[in-house]
Amino acid sequence: MTLFGTFLRHGSNAALLIVGGVLAATIAWVPGGFSVLGLIAGMLVFFITEYTTHRFLLHASPQSAPFVLRLQHRLHYDHHVTPDRLDLLFLPLWFAIPALILYGGIYFAIARTAGLTLSLLLGSVIALLYYEWVHYIAHIPLAPVTPIGRYMKKYHLLHHFKNERLWFGVTNPSMDFVGRTYRKRDEADKSSTTRHLFEK
Protein backbone atom coordinates (compact mmCIF):
# COMPACT_ATOMS: atom_id res chain seq x y z
CA MET A 1 0.00 0.00 0.00
CA THR A 2 1.20 3.52 -0.77
CA LEU A 3 2.35 5.97 1.87
CA PHE A 4 -0.79 8.08 1.45
CA GLY A 5 -3.01 4.99 1.23
CA THR A 6 -1.74 3.75 4.58
CA PHE A 7 -2.34 7.22 6.05
CA LEU A 8 -5.97 7.15 4.90
CA ARG A 9 -6.58 3.55 6.00
CA HIS A 10 -5.91 4.22 9.68
CA GLY A 11 -7.66 6.37 12.23
CA SER A 12 -10.02 9.12 11.20
CA ASN A 13 -7.96 10.60 8.38
CA ALA A 14 -10.23 9.64 5.46
CA ALA A 15 -13.24 10.96 7.36
CA LEU A 16 -11.40 14.22 8.12
CA LEU A 17 -10.66 14.68 4.41
CA ILE A 18 -14.35 14.22 3.65
CA VAL A 19 -15.35 16.63 6.41
CA GLY A 20 -12.89 19.19 5.05
CA GLY A 21 -14.31 18.81 1.55
CA VAL A 22 -17.89 19.20 2.78
CA LEU A 23 -16.94 22.30 4.78
CA ALA A 24 -15.18 23.86 1.78
CA ALA A 25 -18.17 23.17 -0.47
CA THR A 26 -20.66 24.47 2.09
CA ILE A 27 -18.81 27.74 2.71
CA ALA A 28 -19.55 28.83 -0.86
CA TRP A 29 -23.29 28.71 -0.16
CA VAL A 30 -23.59 30.32 3.27
CA PRO A 31 -23.97 33.99 4.22
CA GLY A 32 -20.63 35.73 4.58
CA GLY A 33 -18.84 33.09 2.53
CA PHE A 34 -15.19 32.17 2.84
CA SER A 35 -12.83 34.07 5.15
CA VAL A 36 -9.09 33.71 4.60
CA LEU A 37 -8.41 35.25 8.02
CA GLY A 38 -10.89 32.82 9.56
CA LEU A 39 -9.09 29.89 7.92
CA ILE A 40 -5.71 31.07 9.22
CA ALA A 41 -7.12 31.75 12.69
CA GLY A 42 -8.65 28.25 12.82
CA MET A 43 -5.27 26.75 11.98
CA LEU A 44 -3.53 28.84 14.63
CA VAL A 45 -6.10 27.85 17.26
CA PHE A 46 -5.46 24.21 16.48
CA PHE A 47 -1.69 24.56 16.66
CA ILE A 48 -2.00 26.14 20.11
CA THR A 49 -4.44 23.51 21.38
CA GLU A 50 -2.26 20.76 19.86
CA TYR A 51 0.32 21.58 22.51
CA THR A 52 -2.07 22.11 25.42
CA THR A 53 -4.04 18.94 24.63
CA HIS A 54 -0.87 16.87 24.33
CA ARG A 55 0.71 18.22 27.49
CA PHE A 56 -2.23 18.62 29.85
CA LEU A 57 -4.83 16.13 28.62
CA LEU A 58 -2.97 13.26 26.96
CA HIS A 59 -0.22 13.30 29.60
CA ALA A 60 -2.61 13.76 32.53
CA SER A 61 -2.13 11.46 35.53
CA PRO A 62 -3.99 8.14 35.39
CA GLN A 63 -7.55 8.42 36.59
CA SER A 64 -9.16 5.92 38.96
CA ALA A 65 -12.36 5.46 36.92
CA PRO A 66 -11.78 2.37 34.73
CA PHE A 67 -13.56 3.86 31.70
CA VAL A 68 -11.48 7.05 31.80
CA LEU A 69 -8.28 5.07 32.32
CA ARG A 70 -9.09 2.97 29.23
CA LEU A 71 -9.54 6.20 27.26
CA GLN A 72 -6.20 7.49 28.48
CA HIS A 73 -4.49 4.30 27.37
CA ARG A 74 -6.13 4.30 23.93
CA LEU A 75 -5.62 8.01 23.29
CA HIS A 76 -1.98 8.23 24.32
CA TYR A 77 -0.45 6.01 27.01
CA ASP A 78 -0.32 2.93 24.75
CA HIS A 79 1.13 5.01 21.91
CA HIS A 80 4.16 5.64 24.12
CA VAL A 81 4.44 1.92 24.92
CA THR A 82 4.55 0.98 21.22
CA PRO A 83 5.21 4.18 19.21
CA ASP A 84 5.37 2.37 15.86
CA ARG A 85 1.86 0.86 16.03
CA LEU A 86 -0.22 2.71 13.45
CA ASP A 87 -3.53 1.71 15.02
CA LEU A 88 -2.52 3.69 18.11
CA LEU A 89 -0.87 6.56 16.24
CA PHE A 90 -3.89 8.43 14.91
CA LEU A 91 -6.83 9.98 16.74
CA PRO A 92 -9.87 7.71 16.62
CA LEU A 93 -13.01 9.00 14.91
CA TRP A 94 -14.98 8.83 18.15
CA PHE A 95 -12.58 11.44 19.59
CA ALA A 96 -11.94 13.62 16.52
CA ILE A 97 -15.57 14.26 15.52
CA PRO A 98 -16.80 15.36 18.99
CA ALA A 99 -13.69 17.55 19.27
CA LEU A 100 -14.54 19.24 15.95
CA ILE A 101 -18.15 19.72 17.05
CA LEU A 102 -16.84 21.41 20.20
CA TYR A 103 -14.54 23.62 18.12
CA GLY A 104 -17.47 24.50 15.84
CA GLY A 105 -19.69 25.43 18.78
CA ILE A 106 -17.03 27.68 20.27
CA TYR A 107 -16.29 29.26 16.89
CA PHE A 108 -19.98 30.00 16.28
CA ALA A 109 -20.38 31.50 19.76
CA ILE A 110 -17.54 33.91 18.89
CA ALA A 111 -18.10 34.51 15.17
CA ARG A 112 -21.91 34.52 15.03
CA THR A 113 -21.89 34.01 11.25
CA ALA A 114 -21.96 30.75 9.33
CA GLY A 115 -19.26 31.73 6.83
CA LEU A 116 -16.71 32.74 9.44
CA THR A 117 -17.56 29.77 11.67
CA LEU A 118 -17.10 27.29 8.83
CA SER A 119 -13.88 29.00 7.71
CA LEU A 120 -12.48 28.73 11.24
CA LEU A 121 -13.53 25.08 11.43
CA LEU A 122 -12.04 24.29 8.01
CA GLY A 123 -8.75 25.80 9.18
CA SER A 124 -8.78 23.54 12.22
CA VAL A 125 -9.57 20.47 10.11
CA ILE A 126 -6.70 21.26 7.72
CA ALA A 127 -4.36 21.78 10.69
CA LEU A 128 -5.52 18.51 12.27
CA LEU A 129 -4.85 16.61 9.04
CA TYR A 130 -1.41 18.24 8.85
CA TYR A 131 -0.77 17.23 12.47
CA GLU A 132 -1.76 13.62 11.72
CA TRP A 133 0.51 13.57 8.65
CA VAL A 134 3.54 15.00 10.51
CA HIS A 135 2.92 12.58 13.39
CA TYR A 136 2.63 9.68 10.95
CA ILE A 137 5.89 10.55 9.17
CA ALA A 138 7.65 10.89 12.54
CA HIS A 139 6.83 7.28 13.43
CA ILE A 140 7.52 5.40 10.21
CA PRO A 141 10.92 4.49 8.74
CA LEU A 142 10.98 7.30 6.20
CA ALA A 143 13.23 10.34 5.93
CA PRO A 144 11.18 13.52 5.35
CA VAL A 145 12.13 15.43 2.22
CA THR A 146 12.05 18.94 3.71
CA PRO A 147 14.42 20.39 6.34
CA ILE A 148 11.51 21.32 8.64
CA GLY A 149 10.12 17.81 8.23
CA ARG A 150 13.44 16.25 9.22
CA TYR A 151 13.74 18.64 12.16
CA MET A 152 10.24 17.92 13.48
CA LYS A 153 10.72 14.16 13.13
CA LYS A 154 13.86 14.30 15.29
CA TYR A 155 12.12 16.74 17.64
CA HIS A 156 9.11 14.49 18.19
CA LEU A 157 11.20 11.38 18.66
CA LEU A 158 13.07 13.13 21.47
CA HIS A 159 9.71 13.29 23.28
CA HIS A 160 9.28 9.54 22.81
CA PHE A 161 12.79 8.30 23.47
CA LYS A 162 14.63 10.94 25.52
CA ASN A 163 12.17 12.69 27.84
CA GLU A 164 8.36 12.57 27.65
CA ARG A 165 8.03 15.67 29.86
CA LEU A 166 9.58 17.85 27.14
CA TRP A 167 9.05 18.60 23.44
CA PHE A 168 5.24 18.38 23.27
CA GLY A 169 4.98 20.15 19.93
CA VAL A 170 4.36 17.77 17.03
CA THR A 171 4.00 20.16 14.09
CA ASN A 172 6.13 22.99 15.47
CA PRO A 173 8.17 23.80 18.61
CA SER A 174 6.78 27.29 19.28
CA MET A 175 4.50 26.43 22.20
CA ASP A 176 7.29 24.50 23.90
CA PHE A 177 9.13 27.81 24.23
CA VAL A 178 6.00 29.43 25.68
CA GLY A 179 5.34 26.52 28.04
CA ARG A 180 9.02 26.14 29.03
CA THR A 181 9.16 22.54 27.80
CA TYR A 182 11.85 23.14 25.21
CA ARG A 183 15.42 22.02 25.82
CA LYS A 184 18.41 21.39 23.65
CA ARG A 185 18.92 17.64 23.36
CA ASP A 186 22.07 17.64 25.48
CA GLU A 187 20.47 19.76 28.20
CA ALA A 188 17.71 17.24 28.94
CA ASP A 189 17.99 14.28 31.29
CA LYS A 190 17.19 10.84 29.92
CA SER A 191 13.86 9.74 31.35
CA SER A 192 13.16 6.15 32.41
CA THR A 193 9.41 6.56 31.79
CA THR A 194 9.24 7.45 28.11
CA ARG A 195 7.52 4.13 27.34
CA HIS A 196 5.44 3.73 30.50
CA LEU A 197 4.43 7.26 31.37
CA PHE A 198 3.36 6.58 34.92
CA GLU A 199 5.24 3.77 36.61
CA LYS A 200 3.33 1.94 39.32
Mean pLDDT across the chain = 94
Q: Where are the domains of the chain?
A: 3-142
200 has pLDDT over 80: no
Q: State residue 133's pLDDT score.
A: 96
Please classify residue 17 by burial: count the beta carbons closer than 10 Å to its beta carbon, then call 0-12 exposed, 13-18 middle and 19+ buried.
middle
Helices (H) and strands (E) in the chain, counts: 10, 0
The stretch 104-116 carries a mean pLDDT of: 94
Q: Is residue 119 within 8 Å of 44, Cβ to Cβ?
A: no
Q: State residue 88's pLDDT score.
A: 93
pLDDT for 54-100, tens place per residue? 999 999 999 999 999 999 999 999 999 999 999 899 999 999 999 99
Q: State residue 9's pLDDT score.
A: 87
Over the Cα atoms of the chain, what is R_g?
18
The stretch 137-156 carries a mean pLDDT of: 96
Distances in whole angstroms, Cα of residue 155 to Cα of each of 122, 147, 197: 27, 12, 18
Q: State residue 199's pLDDT score.
A: 67
Residue 60 is given by DSSP the state: P
Q: Is residue 77 within 8 Å of 197, Cβ to Cβ?
A: yes
